[in-house]
Structure 1
Amino acid sequence: MNLIVRNIAESCSAEEVREFLKRELGHYAKHIEVVDAGKPSAYATVELNAEVPYVGDVIAREIHGKQLHGQTLEASADLFGDEPPAAH
């Protein structure tokens, strides 16, 4: 199961995003990939260390609305894992 995090500030480096998500998610974060860091289309996918779908939803709700570099993050659980995030 993956977590998709969108609305990442252009001022954030990929490393800053990874560190923030590692700190926020702790042991639930198996692997974090940041795509297009420094661009308006930046997003991150987090492979979650959880097999039960509702855990991903709970984690997404915890991250959704948090601030990183003054930008409010948007997060959602991706039950299928390999789907690209929806464009907005």
Structure 2
Amino acid sequence: MNLIVRNIAQSCSEQEVRDFLKHELGHYAKNIEVVDAGKPGAYATVELDAEVPYVGEVIARQIHGKQLGGQTLEASADLFTDEPPAPQ
């Protein structure tokens, strides 16, 4: 199960995003991939170490609305695919 985190500030480096998510998610963060750090539309996918689908939703709610680099993060659990959603 993946967690998708969007609305990452352009001022945040890939390492800052990784460190933030590792801190917030602890042992649930199995693998973190940051895409297009420093650019508009940057996002991160986090492979969650959780077997039960509702755990991903609970984790997404905890991250959703937190501040990073002056931006409010948007997060959602992706239950059906390992691919990030298409940009809107």
TM-score of the pair, normalised by structure 1: 0.96
**Runs of 4+ displaced beyond 4 Å:** none
Structure 1 alignment gaps of length 5 or more: none
Q: Which secondary structure state, in structure 1, belongs to the residue aligned with residue 83 of structure 2? A: coil
Q: CA RMSD in A?
A: 0.8
Q: How does 1:47-66 map to 2 (within 5 A)?
A: 47-66=47-66
Structure 2 alignment gaps of length 5 or more: none
Q: Which secondary structure state, in structure 2, belongs to the residue aligned with residue 31 of structure 1? A: strand
Alignment match, 2:27? 27
Alignment match, 1:75? 75
| Seq. identity, % | 84
| Counterpart Cα distance in 1 of 2:42 and 2:64 | 15
* Offset at residue 56 of structure 1 (A): 0.1
| Counterpart Cα distance in 1 of 2:22 and 2:83 | 22
1:7-38 alpha-carbon deviations (Å, 9 max, x no partner): 00000000000000000000000000000000
| Counterpart Cα distance in 2 of 1:18 and 1:46 | 10
TM-score of the pair, normalised by structure 2: 0.96
1:54-76 alpha-carbon deviations (Å, 9 max, x no partner): 00000000000000011000000
Q: Read off the aligned partner of 2:41 and give its amino acid letter.
A: S
Q: Which secondary structure state, in structure 2, belongs to the residue aligned with residue 25 of structure 1? A: helix
* Offset at residue 82 of structure 1 (A): 1.9
